[in-house]
């Protein structure tokens, strides 16, 4: 059965295990800045907002890329970065509605979550349960969107306050 | 390098010099990391007893652990080591938060600060770019304002460690705050920073941490994570925080109240972790870097006259020191006092400890209204408690100046037997909120703690046998699970000895001690295997524990250079001479006789001299500390 990743900001403790796990499984090292999942921290209110690719239905990143370096799997929604053609321009980072893309600190290539091909390694590291890998049903898809809206509302509020 | 980053960063504030040094390979084997290597560094630079806490030659060493920065659960902690100002002795203080991991990602295992700046300064570290900067716009600012300015200047993702006004004013109970609400709080490290004119250290790093065998490392990290996930202690820490245990401790009549005059409080609920959750004060469960437990709290008051108050915590210790201790059985009262301490940069344990002593002194007529600047101190009086804290942190008035120097100095100034209700031992640190009269391993551990009597150089929580995992530890150490009860004096020496080593290696690796001595997912066996996978340095469990003993002995040796003897290993007068007020252990004391019995066994276990408590030459040599023995021999301090 198809699955979806639920990301609940209210359960996130901001520990960054997920980002570390991501850098480990992708690159055999530990560096939260290389995680395809990122925790935006706001220390004064003890908040951590997990940000990552949502496999969304509108995929503005695809169209934004001047080199056509991003492709999308029609069934899973997973975006793949062609590292040969990616020019490290960062336009996709700006285009992403969910602030889920960033550039690799060393190579400059776009970092986009691929759900580890169907078994996201970060999930087993998230003991508080902020990340859950669940069967895809109408109900879980609805929940995913609701949790995402809450994260984005908080994200925009923080950016507005900072401006 | 694997595990470690392989670099020590030196900053000399007097000479305005910055340099790096390779991490000696030998130290990785002998001292592992963080607290262990810090102890070696402090010995090497500051063993000369002429160097006092306020001498520019005193150093501050900051260090994340050997596996900090990885997925090893709860391995993001940082040790800060210096000559403490509260006791004038060895001080290791350890903090959570995210600053230490950032220092490691900047490429450093240790940061050593030498000298003293001639004007307020802060250190900015961005990988290889390190600068000493002018802190004139930060000086005088509270912790929140300081953090806000540093983030404005250096980015929202920078991490700060700083002192507040209390540290600037050399208050002995001042706390080093770390990524905002975490604290290397005890022993007055913040006053050492203040004396050096060092307001803050701001770090940004982007260098990955590599381990020797990522696959094996991930397997052991998973084993630890799974054990912690299944541990009832860890689950409770996440759900209700450290303050989740208050009701149970109170039921044992072991929750110190009114300056250790009571152990049981009717309706203790308002000052518990459960109340924070159920009454809606708790807004978030928060984790330090890489921690899968997440015991830290973020609490706010949303309505009523105190609306808008928000801060990290309160922890068990804060509900004790600023709640039950001064008789404030009031959630918002403690939230206010906690927020004030966090904002001004005060250690809540010491703030509460001196406040309780002042209240009792006032009640006894030893302090008068003239001494308190007109404040009518008393149990449960919230505005007076808040004014007292502010006076201490800012050294305001007669009361503030008296209490800001801590109980060791205040009791000497006031005299009139006031040491009898000062809850500190001969070393002079205000005791943390543990009823040692009814927990005998704690009593022994507190007495021998090199930094003063608290639970943060070793913790023997297992003696309560509160979980199957705790009972298993006691059985492993003593050979019989029947000793998992805190009123026994038998086998306490072995229990303390084992926990000392375990606690030390836990901190050397960067783990939170809750993972190995409050919950039990991390243990000497899996730590040794993990260190091997991380660094390629292979050690058995026993060899790993032996590095712990080496460090504990080195810390002891440092205090011997300052004249510490067996007489310094005692407990507060009240706890040694007055019985517990109520409960199953009513009348129980930490009598000198009882303590002496445990101390003899403890020193014998260490192979230390019973009369002086000093290690023998052969003990040092067995641990590879011949140079330490040679130095102390010249001082005439090897028995």
Contacts of A21 in chain B (CB under 8 A): 71
pLDDT in tens, B225-279: 999 999 989 999 999 999 999 999 999 999 999 999 999 999 999 999 999 999 9
CA distances, B564 to each of B90, B552, B612 (Å): 10, 15, 9
In the predicted structure, residue A1 carries a pLDDT above the cut 90: no
Contacts of B181 in chain A (CB under 8 A): 43, 46
Looking at the structure, do residues A78 and A46 belong to the same domain, yes or no? no
State the average pLDDT for chain B. Answer: 97
Tell me the residue ranges of DSSP E strands in B441-539: none
Cβ contact, residue pair B238, A21, below 8 Å: no
Looking at the structure, do residues A11 and A27 belong to the same domain, yes or no? yes
Compute CA B274 distance to the chain's CA centroid, rounded to the nearest angstrom. 24
pLDDT in tens, B454-465: 999 999 999 999
Rounded Cα distance between B71 and B106, Å, is 18
Cβ contact, residue pair A14, B144, below 8 Å: no
pLDDT in tens, A53-95: 999 999 999 999 999 999 999 999 999 999 999 999 999 999 9
Best probe of the B interface among A44, A104, A155, by most B CBs < 10 A, is: A44
Domain with CATH 1.10.569.10 in chain B: 240-421
Domain with CATH 1.10.599.10 in chain B: 436-634
A28 close contact with B: CB closer than 8 A: yes
Rounded to 5, what percent of chain B is helix, strand, coil?
A: 45, 15, 40
Which residues 112-131 of A have a C-beta within 8 angstroms of B?
124-125, 127-128
CB B249 within 8 A of CB B439: no
Query: B584: pLDDT confidence band, cut at 50, 70 and 90?
Result: confident
Looking at the structure, do residues A76 and A89 belong to the same domain, yes or no? yes
Rounded Cα distance between B131 and B136, Å, is 15
Longest dimension (CA), chain A: 44
Cis bond upstream, residue B314 (ω within 30): yes
Backbone angles phi, psi at B560, to 5 degrees: -65, -35
From B179, B210, B288, residue closest to A29, measured CB to CB: B210
What's the number of domains chain A is made of?
2
Cβ contact, residue pair A13, B290, below 8 Å: no
The CATH number assigned to the domain holding A124 equals 3.30.70
Domain with CATH 3.60.9.10 in chain B: 7-204
In the predicted structure, residue A162 carries a pLDDT above the cut 90: no
In the predicted structure, residue A163 carries a pLDDT above the cut 90: no
Question: What is the rounded radius of gyration, in angstroms, for the C-alpha atoms of chain B?
Answer: 23
Tell me the residue ranges of DSSP E strands in B439-496: none
CB A21 within 8 A of CB A161: no
Cβ contact, residue pair A13, B70, below 8 Å: no
From A17, A41, A44, residue closest to B292, measured CB to CB: A17
Looking at the structure, do residues A153 and A125 belong to the same domain, yes or no? yes
Q: Which of B290, B210, B292, B74 is nearest to B533 (CA)?
A: B210
Contacts of A125 in chain B (CB under 8 A): 71, 225, 292
Q: Are strands B121-126 and B198-204 parallel, antiparallel or unpaired?
A: parallel
Class of domain B436-634: mainly alpha
* Topology (CATH) of B240-421: 1.10.569
CATH of region B7-204, choose from 3.60.9.10, 3.40.50.2300, 3.40.50.2000, 3.40.50.300: 3.60.9.10
Sign of CA dihedral B150, B152, B155, B159: positive
Tell me the residue ranges of DSSP E strands in B205-295: 282-286
Report the predicted TM-score, pTM, of the whole model to 2 decimal places.
Answer: 0.98
**Nearest-CA residue of chain A relative to B290?**
A15
The CATH number assigned to the domain holding A57 equals 3.30.70.20
Looking at the structure, do residues A143 and A92 belong to the same domain, yes or no? no
Q: Which of A42, A4, A41 is nearest to A123 (CA)?
A: A4
pLDDT in tens, B16-51: 999 999 999 999 999 999 999 999 999 999 999 999
For tokens 């996978």, the residue is B533
- Neighbouring CB atoms inside 10 A of B510's CB total 32
Q: Which of B225, B234, B287 is nearest to B514 (CA)?
A: B234
What lies within 8 Å, CB to CB, of B617 at 6+ separation is: B629, B633, B638
Q: What is the structure's pLDDT at A105?
A: 95
For tokens 């994260």, the residue is A151
A150 close contact with B: CB closer than 8 A: no
Cβ contact, residue pair A43, B310, below 8 Å: no
Looking at the structure, do residues A58 and A106 belong to the same domain, yes or no? yes
- Neighbouring CB atoms inside 10 A of B635's CB total 12
Query: B80: pLDDT confidence band, cut at 50, 70 and 90?
Result: very high
CB B29 within 8 A of CB B545: no
Cβ contact, residue pair B284, A13, below 8 Å: yes
How many residues are listed for chain B in this entry? 639
**Nearest-CA residue of chain A relative to B222?**
A125
Looking at the structure, do residues A75 and A152 belong to the same domain, yes or no? no
pLDDT in tens, B148-182: 999 999 999 999 999 999 999 999 999 999 999 99
Contacts of B283 in chain A (CB under 8 A): 45-46
Query: B394: pLDDT confidence band, cut at 50, 70 and 90?
Result: very high
A84 close contact with B: CB closer than 8 A: no
pLDDT in tens, B486-521: 999 999 999 999 999 999 999 999 999 999 999 999
3-state DSSP assignment of residue B145: helix
Rounded Cα distance between B433 and B452, Å, is 13
Rounded Cα distance between A33 and A73, Å, is 26
Q: What percent of chain B has pLDDT over 90?
A: 99
What range defines the domain where residue A155 resides? 1-52+116-163
3-state DSSP assignment of residue B233: helix
- Residue contacts between A and B (CB atoms, under 8 Å): 100
In the predicted structure, residue B111 carries a pLDDT above the cut 90: yes
Contacts of B294 in chain A (CB under 8 A): 13, 15, 127-128
């Amino acid at each position: 059965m198809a699955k979806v990743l639920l990301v609940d900001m209210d359960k996130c403790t901001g520990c960054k295990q997920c980002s570390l796990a991501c850098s480990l499984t992708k690159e055999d090292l530990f560096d939260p800045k290389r995680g395809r999942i990122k925790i935006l921290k706001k220390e004064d209110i003890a908040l951590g907002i997990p940000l990552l690719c949502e496999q969304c239905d509108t995929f503005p990143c695809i169209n934004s890329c001047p080199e056509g370096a991003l492709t999308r799997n029609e069934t899973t929604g997973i975006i793949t970065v062609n590292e040969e053609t990616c020019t490290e321009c960062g336009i996709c980072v700006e285009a992403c509605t969910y602030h889920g893309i960033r550039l690799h600190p060393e190579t400059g290539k776009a970092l986009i979550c691929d759900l580890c091909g169907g078994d996201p390694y970060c999930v087993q590291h998230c003991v508080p349960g902020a990340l859950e890998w669940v069967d895809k049903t109408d109900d879980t898809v609805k929940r995913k969107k609701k949790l995402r809206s809450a994260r984005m509302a908080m994200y925009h509020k923080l950016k507005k306050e900072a401006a | 390098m694997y595990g470690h980053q392989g670099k020590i960063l030196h900053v000399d504030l007097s000479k305005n010099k910055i340099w790096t040094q390779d991490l000696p390979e030998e130290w990785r084997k002998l001292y592992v990391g963080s607290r262990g290597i810090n102890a070696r560094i402090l010995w090497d630079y500051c063993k000369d007893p002429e160097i006092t806490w306020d001498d520019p030659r005193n150093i501050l060493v900051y260090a994340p652990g050997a596996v900090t920065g990885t997925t090893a659960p709860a391995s993001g902690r940082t040790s800060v080591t210096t000559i403490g100002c509260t006791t004038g002795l060895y001080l290791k203080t350890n903090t959570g938060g995210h600053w230490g991991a950032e220092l490691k990602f900047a490429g450093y295992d240790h940061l050593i600060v030498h000298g003293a700046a001639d004007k307020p300064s802060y250190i900015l570290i961005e990988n290889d770019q390190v600068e000493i900067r002018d802190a004139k716009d930060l000086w005088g600012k509270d912790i929140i304002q300081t953090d806000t300015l540093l983030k404005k200047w250096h980015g929202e993702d920078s991490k700060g460690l700083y002192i507040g006004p209390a540290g600037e004013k050399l208050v002995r109970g001042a706390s080093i705050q770390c990524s905002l609400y975490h604290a290397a709080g005890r022993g007055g490290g913040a006053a050492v920073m203040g004396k050096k004119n060092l307001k803050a250290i701001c770090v940004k790093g982007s260098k990955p941490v590599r381990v020797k065998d990522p696959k094996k490392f991930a397997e052991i990290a998973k084993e630890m994570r799974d054990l912690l996930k299944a541990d009832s202690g860890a689950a409770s820490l996440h759900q209700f925080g450290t303050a989740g245990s208050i009701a149970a401790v109170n039921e044992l009549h072991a929750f110190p109240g009114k300056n250790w005059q009571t152990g049981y409080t009717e309706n203790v609920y308002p000052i518990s972790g459960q109340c924070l959750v159920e009454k809606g004060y708790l807004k978030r469960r928060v984790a330090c870097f890489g921690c899968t437990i997440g015991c830290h709290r973020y609490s706010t008051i949303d309505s009523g006259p105190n609306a808008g108050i928000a801060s990290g915590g309160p922890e068990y210790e804060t509900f004790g020191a600023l709640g039950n201790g001064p008789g404030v059985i009031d959630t918002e009262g403690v939230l206010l006092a906690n927020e004030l301490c966090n904002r001004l940069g005060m250690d809540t344990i010491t703030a509460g400890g001196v406040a309780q002593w002042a209240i009792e002194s006032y009640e006894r007529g030893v302090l008068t209204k003239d001494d308190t600047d007109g404040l009518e101190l008393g149990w449960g009086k919230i505005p007076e408690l808040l004014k007292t804290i502010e006076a201490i942190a800012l050294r305001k008035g007669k009361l503030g100046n008296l209490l800001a120097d801590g109980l060791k100095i205040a009791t000497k100034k006031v005299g009139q037997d006031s040491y009898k209700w000062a809850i500190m031992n001969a070393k002079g640190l205000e005791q943390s909120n543990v009823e040692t009269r009814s927990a005998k391993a704690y009593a022994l551990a507190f007495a021998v703690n090199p930094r003063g009597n608290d639970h943060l150089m070793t913790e023997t929580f297992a003696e309560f046998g509160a979980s199957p995992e705790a009972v298993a530890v006691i059985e492993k150490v003593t050979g019989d699970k029947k000793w998992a009860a805190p009123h026994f004096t038998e086998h306490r020496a072995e229990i303390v000895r084992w926990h000392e080593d375990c606690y030390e290696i836990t901190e050397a690796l960067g783990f939170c001690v809750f993972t190995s001595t409050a919950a039990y997912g991390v243990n000497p066996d899996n730590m040794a295997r993990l260190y091997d996978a991380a660094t390629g340095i292979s050690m058995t469990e026993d060899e790993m524990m032996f590095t712990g003993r080496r460090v504990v002995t080195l810390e002891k040796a440092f205090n011997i250079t300052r004249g510490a003897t067996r007489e310094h290993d005692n407990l507060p007068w009240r706890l040694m001479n007055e019985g517990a007020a109520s409960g199953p252990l009513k009348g129980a004391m930490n009598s000198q006789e009882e303590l002496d019995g445990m101390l003899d066994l403890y020193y014998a276990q260490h192979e230390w001299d019973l009369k002086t408590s000093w290690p023998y030459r052969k003990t040092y040599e067995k641990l590879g500390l011949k140079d330490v023995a040679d130095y102390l021999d010249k001082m005439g301090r090897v028995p």
